[in-house]
Structure 1
Amino acid sequence: MNNMEHFIDNMHLDSQLTLEDIPDLNLYMDQVIQLFENKFAASKRNDDEKVLTKTMINNYAKGKLFFPVKNKKYSREHLMLISMIYQMKGALSINDVKQTLEKLNENITDKAFNLQDFYDCYLKLDRDNVDQFSKAVHQHSDAVHEKVKHLDDDDKKYLEQLLMVAVMTNMSNYYRRAAEKMVDAIGKEEKGHQK
């Protein structure tokens, strides 16, 4: 594929809700939605796509994906958790996200866990992941180009794109399946502690 840097830049992989983006005061739901819409608008696939809606937030609350809100206001901790949910739900089921975050939510409410330090680690790892992803996409692109260049076909560009889609979906599936296995391990450990 031509101009891989432009392709990767247009994905806006650096869109992330940073600690500096999160206000020190609690927000109402409409303010939360606006904050996320402003932060992640560039990463949407199209203009009709919604980053976050009232229904999504209500479903997360009803599903106990984050600890209860007070006076209909969302704290900094809620925003950090919603940001993680936003990222995880693209690959995991809502039940898997809930199971993954369940103990973290308990630690926040029961043990006064410092979510800010944890979230900062998450953001740093995400920046590293963007770099690794960019390198991997370039490697995949080079490999696909090598495989296709000997084909006698007028539609090599399409064939390259097709193979890149296949390679990226395969990689995505590998990572999703690995994450699901880890979620299952978290579930088994939690059940073991409850006995």
Structure 2
Amino acid sequence: MTQQALKLPLWADLPAFDLHLDQLLLLVNEYVAPISGEVVTKTMLHNYFKLKIIVPPVKKRYGRVQLAGAIVVALLKSVFALGEIKQGFDVVAKGHAPQKAYDNFAEIFNRQTSANTQQVAPHISATSKDVVDQLTQVQYAAVQAVLYWLAAKSQLHDLVVPAKAAQDKNDQRPDV
């Protein structure tokens, strides 16, 4: 996998015109498959729209919002449950325009992958007695992935729980 393959397009780089589903699918897979090694299918996209994880299209025309959403979901689905991704999208949608939210995600992704390709081996403490071989590097990366996943889940929970509590409180207010 080349460094170029590990780069997401920014919002401005996404097509500014409406797409058909086949075109959307082709672009999503052009961006995501080199990174994740997985292919997104029509059925998967239909499920994301049906579950309202991604904003459904208008009259079967797909724009930047659907393309950006599909790219992000395709990358996150191997780490988070679809319900968790939807919660995250819902939180982001309340505070940010889709363009800003997507660009932020893409810029973070691009910075992190750029930093990781420059640092081929993960940093392992100089006092470590472990033999720094390829297996150790894989184990280190796997542990880091789990720890980052746990941190992200915890942070998402911290965002969702107060928002849900506030919504529940508003729902319980008597009408005056």
How does the TM-score come out when normalised to structure 2?
0.79
CA offsets 1:50-79 (integer angstroms, 9 cap, x no match) = 2x1111111111221022321111121121
1:37 to 5, 17, 29: 29
Structure 1 position 167 matched with structure 2 position 140: yes
Contact 2:21 2:62 survives alignment (8 Å) = yes
- The letter of the residue matching 1:147 is D
CA distance in 2, matches of 1:72, 1:41: 24
CA offsets 1:77-125 (integer angstroms, 9 cap, x no match) = 1211222212221211111101111134466xxxxx6322332232222
CA distance in 2, matches of 1:44, 1:190: 32
Q: Which residue of 2 aligns with 1:140?
A: 123
Q: Which residue of 2 aligns with 1:110?
A: none
Structure 1 position 78 matched with structure 2 position 89: no
CA RMSD of aligned residues (A): 2.9
- The letter of the residue matching 2:15 is P
Contact 1:66 1:105 survives alignment (8 Å) = no
Give the superposition deviation at 1:42.
2.8
Q: Which residue of 1 aligns with 2:174?
A: none
Contact 1:13 1:43 survives alignment (8 Å) = yes
Give the superposition deviation at 1:135.
5.2
2:53 to 42, 65, 68: 65
Q: Which residue of 1 aligns with 2:152?
A: 179
Overall identity of the aligned pairs, in %: 25
Give the superposition deviation at 1:44.
4.8
Q: Which residue of 2 aligns with 1:154?
A: none
CA distance in 1, matches of 2:129, 2:2: 23
CA distance in 2, matches of 1:121, 1:167: 27
Count of residue correspondences:
168
Structure 2: tracts of 5 or more residues without a match: 170-176
- The letter of the residue matching 2:84 is D
1:13 to 6, 22, 38: 6
2:105 to 122, 135, 144: 122
